[in-house]
């Protein structure tokens, strides 16, 4: 069974991925707080590079979900979590000989007009400082792929419909649901990113089928071998707005 290091394992997405994939992989969880049911757990901060290196030893892949997931003060919150922490994750993967690195980025890196069809090769236009740190992580991934041969897949995630988000999603305008990624599609994309037979570096969109009108999901299918199965407009668009 393949061993995978999961950072941010106690977060909303990390919790769902751990439940989904723990029967498929030998998952080693990494977070500042413990994950219920995790038999292999490293409790540490992303600022602790030695702890990350030790955790990555023996792992074939790293799924990096750790860090701050919303905008905030750059120096106090984003810099340590999303810049230093992301660098440490890549460096730990390099030092430990990890083969595949899956990096959770965001569609907020693409500040194009609302109805524009965007492909991953278009210039980034980050909405905020949070998205800017994710763009840094993407660039760092390209550097580690080119310089050190690390195989890196970047997923530009939409708004993931983790359980705590479901009530709010039932109240939003249908147009906003185009940006949603269901838990099932998210977990499948992460699994396929771990397994994908691809080259050194790739960036793909991670939205459910509802995003097909505004983001290139055919490249997602080509790189990951997976096309999203869910439509958030059908699941959450109860008011038909």
- Rounded to whole angstroms, the Cα distance separating 222 from 41 reads 34
CB 10 within 8 Å of CB 17: no
130 labelled catalytic: yes
Q: Which secondary-structure segment (H or E) carries 159?
A: strand 159-160
Residue 71 neighbours by CB under 8 Å, 6+ apart: 78, 128, 129, 130, 131
Residue from 25, 87, 112, 130 carrying the catalytic annotation: 130
Backbone angles phi, psi at 184, to 5 degrees: -60, -50
CB 3 within 8 Å of CB 26: yes
From residue 237, how far is each of 23, 36, 107 by CA, in Å?
32, 32, 21
CA 142 to chain centroid, in Å, comes to 16
- Rounded to whole angstroms, the Cα distance separating 87 from 98 reads 15
Radius of gyration (C-alpha) of the chain in whole angstroms: 17
Residue 180 neighbours by CB under 8 Å, 6+ apart: 158, 159, 160, 161, 169, 207, 208, 210, 211, 232, 236
Alpha helices in 80-128 (DSSP H): 85-96
Active site residues: 130
């Amino acid at each position: 069974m393949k061993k995978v290091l999961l950072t941010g394992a106690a977060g909303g997405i990390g919790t769902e991925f751990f439940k989904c994939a723990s029967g498929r992989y030998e998952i080693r969880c990494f977070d500042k707080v413990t994950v219920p049911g995790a038999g292999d757990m490293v409790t540490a901060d992303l600022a602790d590079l030695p702890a990350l290196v030790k955790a990555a030893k023996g792992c074939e892949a790293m799924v990096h979900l750790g860090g701050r997931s919303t905008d905030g003060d750059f120096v106090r919150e984003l810099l340590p979590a999303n810049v230093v922490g992301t660098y440490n994750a890549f460096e730990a993967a390099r030092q430990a000989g990890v083969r595949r690195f899956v990096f959770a980025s965001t569609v907020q890196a693409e500040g194009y007009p609302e109805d524009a069809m965007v492909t991953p090769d278009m210039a980034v236009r980050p909405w905020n400082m949070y998205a800017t740190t994710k763009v840094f992580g993407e660039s760092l991934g390209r550097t580690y792929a080119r310089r050190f041969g690390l195989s890196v897949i970047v997923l530009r995630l939409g708004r993931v419909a983790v359980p705590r988000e479901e009530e709010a999603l039932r109240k939003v305008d249908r147009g906003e649901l185009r940006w949603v990624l269901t838990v099932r599609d998210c977990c499948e994309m992460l699994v396929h990113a771990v397994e994908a037979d691809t080259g050194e570096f790739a960036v793909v969109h991670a939205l459910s089928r509802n995003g097909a009108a505004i983001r290139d999901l055919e490249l997602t299918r080509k790189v990951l071998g997976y096309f999203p199965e869910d439509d958030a407009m059908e699941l959450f668009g109860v008011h038909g707005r």
